[in-house]
Amino acid sequence: MTGTPRNLLSLTGAQAFAACLVAARIERVYGIIGTSNLAFVNALYDARDRIRYITTRHEQVAASMADTEGRLTGKPGVCLVHSGPGALNAMISAANAYKDCSPLIIISGAVRPTLRGTDGLLEVDHCRIFEPVCKAVYRVDTVESLPSVFSSAYRISTTPAKGPVLIEVPESLWQTESEIDLDSLDVAPPPLKEINPADVREIFRLFKKSERPLLLAGAGVAEANATDRLRQIAERANVRLVTTGNGRGALPETHNLCLGRTGFFGNPVADAAMGQADLIIGLGCCLSDLTTYEYSADLCGKIIILNADPDALASLPPSYKADILSANSDVGDFLSKFLHMLNADPIRKSDDWMDSLLPVKEQWEAQLTAAIASDKTPLSPGRVLRVFSDLAPDDAIFACGAGLNSVYVSDFVRIRSPRSFIAPNNFGAMGFGFPAALAAKIVRPERPVLSVLGDGDFMMTIQDIETGVREGVAATILILNDSSYRALRYSQQILYGGRVYGSEYENPDFVKLAESFGAAGYIIRTPGEIEPVLKNALGSGKLAIVDARIDADDIVPTNMQAILKMRGLA
């Protein structure tokens, strides 16, 4: 009969959920075992030839690794956590994924329904707690509903703007058996909206008319697998490009048309181009507080934002004055149609307006050159990172952390391919970069993986060196070691008259610590050691931890004038 289930199976909740993961072609689950998810881990044992279960040493790490898988593949990464404390440990990572629009499914165990509401051991209201940092939260009440719940969660996680979802399953449901229909599983997200041809014609008209056009690329360009189309447009029209933090690599940062990252953590040349452009075409991005220096940047040109997320501009404060037009559409579709129009009606823009950026560019490059050439000891972070960047192959993935080290990464590390820069760009949570490096190498074993972390950041997830060694992760982790939370120490020196307090500490011997876990450990103290030590670490064939002793009083190159204006100090 029509409508009769085609694949009715008698399964426990644990078996049913594992079957859903297999059917959705989920390849890995990262997590920590607990009494509330023990039966599900047992079901994963039976599926171990199709799903790799990776045990971590902290739930923040598990969720960050799953987040990284989502960023690299476009499909949801999956992590498993225990009820209560385990789930709450994953909250930071959920927020990272939410803010950076990364697809992530968090599976949480929970107390038995009979204990719900009794304020017992391990009980918290996961759904209410996670709701602000997830696109959706689900509490599974019956085994029969698992395929529909999983289908909905998967689709929502992968529908722009992508993001995390939480699925809570009570402990008793894993072992409850029932008949379910796996054929009802449907994880296909709705198709992306094609752009209206009239909108493309209007944008092309504005582009032809403009004298100072600029492309602003976000993560959506790589999501749409459209970086090649973007490059063709930039080269054929001779138009400059800047990126958001998540858009780095949309055009190689070594390309003569790429001006680099704009906004907070970016560079003054890209910022000056944004300020002077008479037309900014934003691709797969939004105008965030970072891109606009907390909405203090003066953008005089018309701004067009193309994003598959219909709410891409919803967070703009009403007080922000800018001429903005948005088009909810597939960025890849727009670029294809725009490129077709450009081929039919070739345009090549003049370089003349770049002359006005020369003073800013020369001053900026002088700062970078001085840092790269510095022979000081303790080390210049800029010199260490430029060597690290130059040694990296073009397809290297850089997984980086939060803090002042991230500004150095923007300044001195050149990203040369899409989906190659992974960082907690829009939430800034420490403890992300190291798990991201581990996951990046597991998900993309054929690509070199390099990580840049501050010592404070690294210490927050350092226990998972064991995970990296156990899983055979051959990533190179560079620690910029200055024995301080230097972004705060730096602020105390500038804003509070040098009253340094609460931002300095002592570190362990990172070489001995790495070796005690079975990783390779290296230290760099002098400029002459930088290149040979980094070459040895990159060629070690195993997880390598490099301790670079940097100058704690080094001044990081950045757009200080824009930052002071953002803070109301200029």
Q: Residues 553, 407: one domain?
A: yes
- Total domains in the chain come to 3
In angstroms, the CA 540 to CA 219 distance is: 32
Q: Is residue 363 part of a domain?
A: no
Residues 6+ apart with CB under 8 A from 326: 304, 305, 306, 307, 312, 313
* Same domain, residue pair 400 and 533: yes
Position 369 in a domain: no
- Tell me: do 334 and 252 sit in the same domain: yes
Domain match, 110 and 206 both: no
pLDDT the model gives residue 4? 54
Q: Which residues of the chain have pLDDT under 50?
A: 1, 5
Please name the residue that has the structure tokens 């590390």.
413
Last residue of a domain, one of 156, 184, 212: 184
Residues 392 and 533 in one domain: yes
Q: What is the pLDDT of residue 1?
A: 40
Q: Which long-range contacts (CB under 8 A, 24 or more apart) does 202-206 make?
A: 203/281, 203/304, 203/327, 203/334, 203/338, 204/338, 204/341, 204/342, 204/345, 206/279, 206/302, 206/304
**Do 149 and 167 meet the contact criterion of CB atoms below 8 Å apart?**
yes
Nearest to 284 by CA among 320, 252, 331, 340: 331
Domain extent at residue 327: 197-356
- Is residue 251 domain-shared with residue 282, that is, in the same domain? yes
Examine the fold and report which residue of 184, 208, 224 is the final residue of a domain before the chain moves on: 184
Domain end: 326, 356, 386, which one?
356
Pair 420, 399 in one domain: yes
Does residue 365 lie in a domain region?
no
Tell me whether residue 368 is in a domain.
no
Give start and end residues of each alpha helix (H) in 24-112.
38-46, 59-73, 85-89, 91-99
pTM of the model: 0.96
| d(C-alpha 431, C-alpha 428), whole Å | 10
Q: What is the DSSP string of 231-275?
A: HHHHHHHT-EEEE-STTTTSS-TTSTTEEEE-STTS-HHHHHHHH
Token digits for 184? 């009802």
Q: What is the 3-state secondary structure (H, E, C) of 504-564?
A: ECCCCCHHHHHHHHCCEEEEECCHHHHHHHHHHHHCCCCCEEEEEEECCCCCCCCCHHHHH
Sign, Cα dihedral of 235, 237, 242, 246: negative
Are 343 and 401 within one domain? no
Task: Return the DSSP state at 417.
Answer: S
Do residue 161 and residue 303 come from a single domain? no
pLDDT tens per residue, range 28-56: 999 999 999 999 999 999 999 999 999 99
